[in-house]
Amino acid sequence: MTSMCLYLFFTFLIAVSGEFVWKHHNNEELPLVLEEVHEKCPNITRIYALTETSVNNVPLYVIEFSDTPGFHQPYKPEVKYVGNIHGNEVLGRELLLGLAYNLCEQYIKNDRRIRALIHSTRIHLLPSMNPDGWQLATATGAKDYLIGRTNHHNVDLNRNFPDLDAITFELERQGINHNNHLLRDLTRLAAPLEPETRAVMRWIMSVPFVLSAAMHGGDLVANYPYDESRSGAPASEYSASPDDDTFRELAMAYASAHADMASATRKGCHTTSSDDSVAFNFGKQGGVTNGAAWYSLKGGMQDFNYLATNAFEITLELGCEKYPAASQLLNEWERNKEALLAFMWKVHIGVKGIVSDDSGFIQNAVVSVVNITGPVPRPIRHDVTTGPYGDYYRLLTPGHYEVTASHPGYFPVSRVVTVPHHQTSAHVLNFRLEPTSSWFDSSSFGVYPHGLRDGQPRIYKRSLFQHVARAVLQRRD
Ligand SMILES: *[C@@H]1O[C@H](CO)[C@@H](O)[C@H](O)[C@H]1NC(C)=O
Ligand SMILES: *[C@@H]1O[C@H](CO)[C@@H](O)[C@H](O)[C@H]1NC(C)=O
Ligand SMILES: [Zn+2]
């Protein structure tokens, strides 16, 4: 063979052997990598695209890992990673492709930890939420701090989600404890939804996610809710969510398993001198930050997840450079791989269970929690709701809790539980509810799991939920 033939032969071998190459995969190569992983691990993977494409018609591909791909199972929590929401912040995109490849490899090699994870968890990876931005950033040399950040309509996707923080803050001010699934209370959109945003909203409203992380670049920190300040202050105002302790633990799980996100001795990303007292150096605070304590933003995906669904999402800033050179990617994988796994295991903290009655599962039951660890019981004012199998997942840090399951038409049931350290499976706590009366038709109340509790008035009396939800969430055929 001539040397050219040899070269082609080996190129061919590499292509079919499906070895993963650390480089920047373009929008055509991205689905091919996922396809190779699926061919190698057909029993535990599934590839699908979100309901809408990007503005430039690039499909938004997801690869799912599970021992029952395509199906939700009760007691099996769902977790997702979303990369490349800002098109010029590209490390997450490559890390997720590498993660997909490695999960499959380690599964085949019988790695016990990976097999246990995949058998107990449903994992969804969306490597790129903004392929159009990636294309522009890449075509323009990947040099600019802003070019390619937005989608093809010049819209920042991480400002394009409905601002549910404004609703929850208003409810707080009025002392109304209606604290979850707030998309129903939305009366207007500040801006039209971009197709990428709408696709992701439909996704997160239709899959019962429990835990999530969105990947960015430009700093090195794990950022947790809320991203929006209560007063409107643009920066430096800690904006705690009801699950502040849990979110801190989730963020620290990533930061402390990362090579140096949590290192107190590393330099801050934006510090020019050794005196970094003026700029944020997140290593000195454990590699984590509350979003609004850094800077406030409206319309972010993170807070939307928490306030519209049962999912807890944090935001990962994966490095000082938004578009690292291809030669750095393998090293970045080494620096992040433990953290990527450690964070996914966190979907198994707290309690989970099934709410049922004599005849079967109760969907949309409300599960509320009071923290009874300290001397004064403290309600955590963020309830989760049960899914189609009556199943719920309540992430909690170690401690003692009183957990109550309720649904209109049933007597509520409370149980006390201790959440231990180092869980690899949530504590199982099931509830069997008794109807308040046999003739009571609970189904007529099923639509609003929270709205009629305690006879509390709803703040937005003329909720446009039906209109908005129809416009937002149904397919435009
Ligand atoms: C997939 O499942 C089939 C049937 O259970 C089994 O024979 C096969 O070895 C599995 N393949 C892999 C790659 O695990
Ligand atoms: C419950 O309270 C204890 C003690 O104050 C605290 O350590 C723990 O993080 C709290 N749990 C949550 C989920 O807030
Ligand atoms: Zn970003």
Tens of pLDDT, residue by residue over 364-411, are 999 999 999 999 999 999 999 999 899 999 999 999 999 999 999 999
State residue 145's pLDDT score: 79
Q: Is the pLDDT of residue 259 over 70?
A: yes
Query: In the chain, what are the domain boundaries?
Result: 22-269+280-348, 351-446
Distance CA 247, CA 331 (A): 28
pLDDT at 461: 28
Indicate the helix (H) or strand (E) that contains 120. helix 112-120
pLDDT above 50: residue 333: yes
Ligand 3 midpoint to CA 123 (Å): 22
The pTM (predicted TM-score) of the whole model is 0.89
In the residue annotation, 317 being an active-site residue is answered as yes
pLDDT attached to residue 1: 41
Whether residue 451 has its Cβ less than 6 Å from ligand 2: no
Q: Highest mean pLDDT: which of 62-71, 136-145, 451-460?
A: 62-71
Which residues, other chains included, contact 247 with Cβ-Cβ below 8 Å and sequence gap of 6+? 224, 225, 241, 312, 314
State which amino acid sits at residue 358.
D
- State the CATH class of domain 22-269+280-348: alpha beta
User: Please, where are the H alpha helices in 240-374?
Assistant: 244-257, 291-294, 301-308, 329-345
Ligand 1 proximity of 273 Cβ (cutoff 6 Å)? no
- Under a CB-based contact definition with an 8 Å cutoff, are residues 204 and 164 in contact? no
Reply yes or no on whether the pLDDT at 473 is more than 60: no
The CA–CA distances, whole Å, from 186 to 32, 86, 161, 229, 240 equal 39, 25, 12, 19, 22
DSSP-assigned letters across all residues of 3-61: HHHHHHHHHHHHHHHT----S---TTHHHHHHHHHHHHSTTTEEEEE-SS--TT----E
pLDDT band at 322; cut points 50, 70, 90: very high
Q: What is the mean pLDDT of the chain?
A: 90
Closest CA relative to residue 269, chosen from 287, 254, 257, 253: 287
Ligand 2 pocket member 241 (CB < 6 A): no
pLDDT of residue 17: 58
Which atom of ligand 2 sits closest to the CA of residue 401? 1
What is the share, in percent, of the chain residues with pLDDT greater than 90?
A: 83
> Confidence band (pLDDT; 50, 70, 90) for 144?
confident
> Is residue 162 within 8 Å of 189, Cβ to Cβ?
yes
The finding on whether 2 has its CB within 6 A of some atom of ligand 1 is: no
- From CA 2, how far away is CA 23, in angstroms rounded? 28
pLDDT grade for 462, boundaries at 50, 70 and 90: very low
* Angstrom distance (rounded) from CA 399 to CA 420: 7
- Distance from residue 104's CA to the centre of ligand 1 (Å): 13
Q: Options 2.60.40.1170, 2.60.40.1120, 1.10.3720.10, 3.40.50.1980; which CATH number does 351-446 get?
A: 2.60.40.1120
Provide mean pLDDT across the span 128-152: 94
The rounded Å distance from CA 43 to ligand 1 centre is 6
Quick one: pLDDT at residue 457?
33
Q: Quick count: other Cβ atoms within 10 Å of Cβ 476?
A: 8
pLDDT confidence of residue 272:
67
pLDDT in tens, 189-244: 999 999 999 999 999 999 999 999 999 999 999 999 999 999 999 999 999 999 99
Give me the catalytic one of 89, 194, 313, 317. 317
Confidence of residue 466 (pLDDT cuts 50, 70, 90): very low
Same fold, 22-269+280-348 and 351-446: no
Reported confidence tier of residue 283, pLDDT bands at 50, 70, 90: very high
Cis peptide preceding 226, ω within 30 of 0: yes
